[in-house]
Amino acid sequence: MSAWKLCSTLATSMQRFIDLRRLSGADYHAQALLLGHFDRFLVESNHIVLRLTREITDQYECSLERLASRSRGNRLCVVRQFGKYLARTDALSYVPDSPRCISSHDAHTPYIYSLIQIRSLLSAASNLPPGSLRPETCRTLLGLLYSTGIRIGEACALTLKDFHRDDQRLYIAAGKFRKSRWVVLSESACAALQRYVDQRVRKQPRALDSPFFINARGRSLPHVTVYTTFRHLLEQCGIPYHKAGGPRIHDLRHTFAVHRLLEWYRDGTDIHSRLPWLATYMGHVNIKSTHIYLHATPELIECVDHRFHEHYLQHVQPIKGTES
């Protein structure tokens, strides 16, 4: 998405606010794009203002009613941050209230892919029209997203030097909020990436800082191309797609977390001791962020029920028998 050129009567203040955020070490690219929507609203609504007012922010909120709750909340949150910045030097500047928390009813319900669907998607990717690196790129990208749970933006930002074959790990340098981390790879995932690299280096560019995943022109994969191809694969695999609710490519990250939790339950692993591991692996600051990705699928509920039943038979029932 190209950035909107700030041109409202508050554009100068907005740019100063964005520059200040970036000086503090924040990337603030996505937030700047969101603030650009507010600037465009001011321009298209012919608002000539020198400070933020409640009337303007209320009108802006009404104009966002067509958006999903989370998208609407993100845009309003940035305007609130901007309002707090203005209020530091202008006591009459209005600071909007915090957007209401998104209820589970309003939030998008992630789609958890089955193993059969994952295999089907990978097979469909392999069968994309040959003649270029596209089938290998698509299959490897989807396999990486599912097997590691990294974000699509992180995958598209990878360079050749970020793949460390000998150590079986990836270096995520452009994570969310510009936080870097190491991602350990399984042997099969590492082998799949190496097979892709062997074909990838036959194409230009080959420099270590060049994109890991490339399109036909040797450039980084545009997000719109990835999303369009993924929707095509969903249709091929008979996975119903709805424009408003997905399934989305980001749901592969949710699927990774659920399947990882499911395997721990089946292995008898202490879940509570492993959740911090999962949070760190997924690039989260704390477990609260990871909980968003843990969904109660039928298979997971069955494993939880089985573990509780075993715990009852081993620890609770003997105690009750002693009391009687």
Residue 151 known to be catalytic: yes
CA–CA gap between residue 73 and residue 102 (Å, rounded): 8
Q: Which entry of 75, 139, 151, 248 is annotated as an active-site residue?
A: 151
Q: Which entry of 253, 254, 259, 281 is annotated as an active-site residue?
A: 253
Q: Which entry of 176, 181, 203, 260 is annotated as an active-site residue?
A: 176
Q: Which entry of 60, 196, 281, 293 is annotated as an active-site residue?
A: 293
Q: Which helix (H) or strand (E) holds 262?
A: helix 251-267
Residue 105 known to be catalytic: no
CA–CA gap between residue 189 and residue 145 (Å, rounded): 10
Helices 29-44/69-87 angle, 10° precision: 90
Give 267: exposed, middle or buried? Use CB within 10 Å, 0-12, 13-18, 19+: exposed
Answer whether 18's CB lies under 8 Å from 59's CB: no
Residue 253 known to be catalytic: yes
Give 170: exposed, middle or buried? Use CB within 10 Å, 0-12, 13-18, 19+: buried
Q: Which helix (H) or strand (E) holds 182?
A: strand 181-184
- Cα 248 to Cα 140, 199, 208, 232: the distances in Å are 17, 28, 31, 12
Helices (DSSP H) in 127-222: which residue ranges? 134-148, 152-156, 187-200
Residues 6+ apart with CB under 8 A from 304: 265
CA–CA gap between residue 169 and residue 184 (Å, rounded): 4
Question: How does DSSP classify residue 176?
Answer: G
Residue 284 known to be catalytic: yes
Annotated catalytic residues are 151, 176, 250, 253, 284, 293
